[in-house]
A and B are shown apart, each in its own frame.
Chain A
Amino acid sequence: MIPKAKTALQDLAGKLMIGIAAETKTTYAASSVGMIGMLLQCLAKELERGVDTRVCDIEETRVLLTNATSNLPQRLAIEVDRFLQTKPASLLLSDVTALHARALELVTRLHEHAEAAGNESLNREIWSLLERMADRHALDF
């Protein structure tokens, strides 16, 4: 076991981009190696934070939905209620991602509702949430 898997992936990315890229014979190979190295760095980040970012998104969506339950169309209200009672099947990234998808679908539905109802306050809350989500998933190096 390599306990610091993120560091291991970053090290491999560094080896590819600095060591191996220089040994390639064509620009296509060098470019591909560079991109794979960059993707390994993304994977390192995702390995470290993937569950956390999704759980944070899900929890903030729960708060938004909990505060917005009044005046929702009945069908949406039922789905929101069902979501609020659901937890991820496990902490495997795939299970958390599945629940994350449901959260995002409900954010979209709620956003449509806020726009149709002319609910500016809710609209602003949703945009703030979307901005926080986008920041949370940012991949800047």
Chain B
Amino acid sequence: MTLARKLEAYLRRQWPALSGFTIEELHQIPGGASRETYRFVARYTEAGADRRKGYIFRRDPSSSLIDTERSHEFRTYQAVFGTSVPVPEPLILENAPGDLERPFSVMAEVPDCQSATANFAVPPYSEMRRQIGEQKWSILGRLSAISPAELGVDSFMTVVEPADCARHELDYWAGVIEQDALHPQPIAMAAIRELRRRYPPPAQRLCLVHGDYRSGNFLYDEHGDIKAVLDWEMAHIGDPLEDLAWSLDPLWPWPDKTLAGGLMPRHEAITIWERASGLRVDREAFRWWQIFASLKALAIWISSSEDFANGQTKEPILAVAGWLMTDRQNRILVDRLSPVSRHRYAEAL
């Protein structure tokens, strides 16, 4: 039985009210490197009306860029859905997959959208960069303004003290580098030492940190409107500056460092975020989080190298991340930290 038929049989059991439920097409789509991601279209009859609807099916691979719990991400989607931060509707989380072999989740598709960042460089989307950027950092600011308790994520996420956010994150990602590096990493080690010498002040407030908030992880439509924020697998409770710094890392618009996320100058992005969050960016604290963002990214690329080399899944994205991204992130970190930096890849902090 094909994957489509197995999934169809499963969903018929789950959704008995949708009569004649049939999957018309199912195909794997790129992106979502931490899970196998498929799009499918289903036809069914509901309350006497014929319907045709798209869904996203995400299944655990045997290896991924980021080692995360699927239930953690799914519960985060549930927590955020319905707030002012748009996300796809989470529908099913299945940890006992039976015929479908590996745990999976199902979400509603956000129709007629795309996530490609390359579009921002060419018309018509190059004309919408400011509009998309305004929304991107406003949404992030709104996320920073909601308390974890209001979202309910404190029921399943570790709650750290505001003074411990930085140390908690650094310890985790330094550990990933220590565990997964296949070759010595002198630049990463220098970054870790620098970060441990100068921790930032306590977080101004705790918030839900997305953990991978960047261009490429949101869906926008043909009008340049952001319809959903994706990929919440690294979400955690922490310092709002963490997401802001991550969103501004020079890797995302590489090699053009003038437009944050390929969308707008970084100082404008910061202003928008400050307005939406009600917070101020402390320069020294932000310096720490920007170095940390580049280090965390490097840790992910190092980990994906290890996954590609030693894991069971030989997905090319793991090798691309582990090779090209490690190279670029090393250059960014040298620019960030070197006292003799020429700032070719990253702006002075």
Footprint of A on B, CB under 8 Å?
27-30, 183-187, 189-190, 193, 255, 315-317, 319-320, 323-324, 327, 330-331, 334, 337-341
Contact = CB atoms under 8 A, between A and B. Distances in A.
13 contacts: A28-B29, A28-B30, A35-B317, A39-B319, A42-B323, A107-B186, A108-B189, A112-B189, A112-B193, A124-B339, A127-B334, A131-B341, A137-B327
B29 A130 contact: no
A115 to B, nearest CB: 6
A116 to B, nearest CB: 10
A79 interface: no
Nearest to B38: A28
A123 B331 contact: no
Contacts of B334: 127, 130-131, 134
A91 interface: no
Interface in A98-141: 100-101, 104-105, 107-108, 111-112, 115, 120, 123-124, 127-128, 130-131, 134-135, 137-140
A36 B29 contact: no
Given A35-B317, A139-B327, A108 B30 contact: no
B26 to A, nearest CB: 10
B30 A138 contact: no
Given A35-B317, A39-B323, A111 B190 contact: yes
Interface residues of A, number: 33
Contact of B323 (A31, A124, A139): A139
A108 B191 CA distance: 11
B319 A134 contact: no
A7 interface: no
A98 B30 CA distance: 35
A115 B340 contact: no
Contacts of A123: 339
A27 B330 contact: no
Contact of B187 (A26, A27, A120, A130): A130
Interface in A6-27: 26-27
A27 B323 CA distance: 23
Given A111-B189, A112-B193, A31 B30 contact: yes
Nearest to B329: A134
A94 interface: no
A119 B319 CA distance: 38
A32 interface: yes
Given A35-B316, A138-B331, 16 more contacts: A26-B28, A26-B29, A32-B315, A39-B316, A39-B320, A39-B323, A104-B183, A108-B189, A108-B190, A111-B186, A127-B340, A130-B190, A131-B338, A131-B341, A135-B331, A139-B324
